[in-house]
Structure 1
Amino acid sequence: VGSLKELEELAGAQLELPDLHRPWVDKVVIRCPSCGGEMRRVPDVLDVWLDSGIAFFASLGYPKDRRKFEELYPVDFITEGHDQIAGWFYSLLRSGVIAFGHTPYRAVLMHGFALDEQGREMHKSLGNYVEPDQILRYEHGSRDVFRWFVLRNTMWEDLRFSWRGLSEVYSDLHVLWNVYYFATLYMSIDRFDPGAWPLHKLMDKLRPEDRWLLSRFTRFVREYTESFEKYHIHRAARLLRDFVVEDLSHWYIRLVRPRVWVEEEEESKLAAYATLHYVLFNLLPLMTPLLPFTAEKLYLGAFKDEDMPLSVNELAWPEPDPALENPQLEKEMEVVKGVVERALALRMKRGVKIRQPLPRLLVYTDDPAVASAVRKLAHVIRGQVNVKSVEVEPVSRVREVLKVRFKPVYQKLGPVFREKTGEVVRALESMQDLVYAEALERKGEVAVRIGEEAITVKREMVEVYLEWAEDFLGDRLDSSFIALDFRISEREMAEGLARDVLRRIQFMRKELNLPVDAYIAVKLYVPPEARVLLTPD
């Protein structure tokens, strides 16, 4: 029976029913056309999943109204929890195949459930239930923080909620805010006009680090968009975090700070501003699905003028620009990042602050790609490691500053060589060239000569130590080596002291809450030995 009218025709009377459900429908009696007997409602109830399973056409008024159904079927997207695999997902599939011969949906996104930090279901009786307003009142919480936290979780896996995890996302959002604050602050001070200095007008003035960021952003846009198209929202959320925190804040902003501190309208500074404006403006519509409140706030406060759309949601989704892609430069910058990271670790190990200039960084490599990247981007290494020069040498020359020490493992050597153990140890002590260590790593053994006899020493029989020259400290970098020269001249010592003074002045300015463009007078009170270093020649 498909309608009240049909029911009345079958019953042979006009029905005055307040509702077509039980118990009123049970009063309706239909005569059997074959035997004349009475027919009443079957008391059994169909599985309730039948109702949900036909939602894809019943909600559109089908079969009475075919227009909407034919326009929208099959539906583009459905989503529910992973408990619906045998429930709604299957009931829809079953009904679609039976009624129309194929699945009624094009895509399914299956999400997990929110659990506590230990992986337990949340219940008030367990005391682990979290109210939404608790998150909003939390010192490191907000609507966007919670959205970013939830959306980073792999969509089809259960989410383990934790206040610590929320704080980590808050920290990332704070980094994003600081990136925009840094760029807009200095652009405002210098009255940078993006309309007068668009990116395309400064392409020939871009430095390698600018071109690197534009290439990274182009790749980010492509991967980020593909993640949304595949409903991999968690991957998009993580890509956004990595680009903002690692590429923008921890790398590019570090590289361009000295350029924006130049007072005059210098082309290099304009190129940095144009690069930042291009990336940060186009990033706004991209972040809107994940961080809508933050994106709107940044757009209205830092970018919108009277000729622009009212909301960030009206901005076009950026398309990746192939002309800005430079995969080779991205690879070279990864090499340089590795060199910088290892060199800074060596500084820390030696206890020498980054503000203290060092004479040189040596890169020993036989890899043409590494050598080319280091030479091409030497200015980046110099600035980030604070060294006067970067030199590239073949690996064979590392022996000038590096010796290898073999320490015997007597528990392994003794049982094998017995009375010859002492001679083997003395022979190992004389083998200080890197070539022996490399042979040991490559082959798992090294040949040792005892008189005329060649004896094989296995890898497990010795421990290998790298011993650097007195004023050097280095480390391996894959198949290459890097070393820092710590022989600091008096002039370099003076530069380091001057940087310490500048840092202290900057800290005091911050304590006094002075504007960035405020001029101050400074007096230094220093001991005689420091006066000599700080007095200009």
Structure 2
Amino acid sequence: PLKHKLSDYLENLQIIDKWILSRLNTCIKEVTELLESLEVNKAAKTLFNFIVEDVSHTYLRFIRRRVWIEEETLDKTVCYTVLYNVLSNVLKMVAVFTPYIAEEIYQHFMRDEEGLESIHMCDWPNVNESLIDKQLEEDMEIMLETLSATIDARKRKGFKLRWPTLETIIVPFNERTLSAMKRLEQLYAKAANTRKVSLMNVGEYPDFAKFKIEPNYGSIGPKYKEKVPLILKALNKMDAREVITKLYKEGKLEIEIATKEKIELMREDINVSQELPEEYGYSESKYGIVYVNCKVTDEIMAEALTNDIIRRIQAMRKDLKLDIEQFVKRVTIVTPEKKYVKLLSKHAEYMKTEVRAETIEIVHKDIYVSVKDKMKHTYEKEWKINEEAFIIGILV
């Protein structure tokens, strides 16, 4: 904190850094106002949501790879400086609600040689209005909702987030959503683990999507009674894509029935269903529809299997109680099929970096049987990955 000041790195911030700093200052502003109006419970909830949702679930997830690299790069320093600024200000606010825990953290984490004797002697955080970007905060909300829909689409197809997808297609319901997703497309692509993001224009849909619309009788029946058959007839004459575009964009649809009477239908009055090719999953949020291409190619299989194995190795490192930065001498991966040796070998260097290994050896199980006695391991374990048995050994 003495060496690296946030003000020195404002020109080097990435968009996710700008977002968390904006959210921090918005949080300080809101918590301050709530405490001044004696709404203590709301203040505590606001602070809790910021810590859990914004810092832990979002910011830390997005910066993991930036701080995981070995070299002391400028970007890594920026990351740590931003994170320290966020956590130190949060801690000063937390001290109001949990004074003893905050003091303990302050003494062991935040206090430097020039620091005050107690966190309770520190000033309450000031709001830096210049760091608040409301449009960015709204853009991130749209992106995160779209990401949530993407994850839901994957789940519907049984496609894990660790598995990359060939393409994700986003159909925005309005221009605001389109603008936000264009701005945050790269951030979204990494979080969604997709090779390609295709943003449709408002009112456009992929050619493969076949829509079907029909009245929600439980909704329109009580409202329109004997007019329901006329509404159904009018809907059948309309283009399904035009109907859903108006519904999603405006939240309502005006139709003219045979009696020349105009009927206003709301989103809940119409059921929308789709027929899609087998490889596509889809979901929707209040901002748009997401289509995910879940076709598995050899390249996708290699990357997905690599991520699955990395997760198992990390679990084994945890079992061994290794420090995060500690390197192991060798990791051996024994595959059940020969094709996996070739697929995984393409990502060997990446695995070495991710699991902190000096050497990665990938062998088929038949070869491993003949050399097993020569390959000593500190820890060896068999894992089931996609119903197949892989053996992983670690030499510390």
TM range (shorter): 0.7 to 0.9
1:12-411 to 2 correspondences below 5 Å: 194-365=1-172, 367-406=174-213
Instruction: Give unmatched runs, 5+ long, in structure 2.
Output: 348-396
Deviations 1:358-414 (A, max 9, x none): 1222222363322221122112211211111222111443141321124588998xx
1:456: how far off?
10
Deviations 1:87-137 (A, max 9, x none): xxxxxxxxxxxxxxxxxxxxxxxxxxxxxxxxxxxxxxxxxxxxxxxxxxx
The 8 Å contact of residues 364 and 398 in structure 1, kept in 2 or not, is answered as yes
The 8 Å contact of residues 173 and 245 in structure 2, kept in 1 or not, is answered as no
Change (3 A) 1:319 1:534: same
Aligned partners of 2:215 and 2:37: how far apart in 1? 56
The 8 Å contact of residues 399 and 434 in structure 1, kept in 2 or not, is answered as no
The one-letter code matched in structure 2 to 1:198 is: K
Query: 1:435 maps to what in 2?
Result: 242
Aligned partners of 2:139 and 2:16: how far apart in 1? 11
1:506 corresponds to which of 304, 314, 322: 314
The 8 Å contact of residues 395 and 480 in structure 1, kept in 2 or not, is answered as no
**Larger RCO: 1 or 2 (CA < 8 Å, sep 6+):** 2
Query: 2:298 maps to what in 1?
Result: 490
Answer with 200-209 or 458-467: which moved more.
Answer: 458-467
The 8 Å contact of residues 405 and 431 in structure 1, kept in 2 or not, is answered as no
The one-letter code matched in structure 1 to 2:36 is: E
Aligned partners of 1:514 and 1:401: how far apart in 2? 49
The one-letter code matched in structure 1 to 2:296 is: I
Aligned partners of 2:59 and 2:263: how far apart in 1? 48
The 8 Å contact of residues 436 and 446 in structure 1, kept in 2 or not, is answered as no
1:480: how far off?
3.0
Query: 2:392 maps to what in 1?
Result: none
Aligned partners of 1:358 and 1:433: how far apart in 2? 28
Aligned partners of 2:145 and 2:321: how far apart in 1? 37
Computing the radius of gyration from Cα coordinates, the structure with the larger value is 1
The one-letter code matched in structure 2 to 1:356 is: W
The one-letter code matched in structure 2 to 1:525 is: V
Change (3 A) 1:431 1:535: farther
Change (3 A) 1:293 1:435: same
Q: Hey, which bits of structure 1, 4+ residues long, moved more than 6 A?
A: 408-412, 415-418, 453-462
1:437-516 to 2 correspondences below 5 Å: 437-438=244-245, 442-443=252-253, 445=255, 463-478=271-286, 480-516=288-324
How many residue pairs get aligned? The number is 336
Deviations 1:302-344 (A, max 9, x none): 1223322111111111110112111111111111111111111
Question: TM-score of the superposition, structure 1-length normalised?
Answer: 0.57
Aligned partners of 2:269 and 2:105: how far apart in 1? 62
1:535 corresponds to which of 345, 359, 362: 345
SS at match of 1:523: strand
SS at match of 2:79: helix
SS at match of 2:81: helix
SS at match of 2:96: coil
The one-letter code matched in structure 2 to 1:535 is: S
The 8 Å contact of residues 252 and 264 in structure 2, kept in 1 or not, is answered as no
The 8 Å contact of residues 142 and 287 in structure 2, kept in 1 or not, is answered as no
Aligned partners of 1:223 and 1:409: how far apart in 2? 41
Query: 1:522 maps to what in 2?
Result: 331
Question: TM-score of the superposition, structure 2-length normalised?
Answer: 0.75
SS at match of 2:334: coil
Change (3 A) 1:271 1:258: same
Instruction: Give unmatched runs, 5+ long, in structure 1.
Output: 1-193
Aligned partners of 1:401 and 1:437: how far apart in 2? 16
Change (3 A) 1:495 1:432: farther
The one-letter code matched in structure 2 to 1:375 is: K
Aligned partners of 1:218 and 1:253: how far apart in 2? 18
Aligned partners of 2:112 and 2:195: how far apart in 1? 44
Aligned partners of 1:399 and 1:431: how far apart in 2? 19
The one-letter code matched in structure 2 to 1:478 is: K
Change (3 A) 1:254 1:407: same
The one-letter code matched in structure 2 to 1:284 is: L
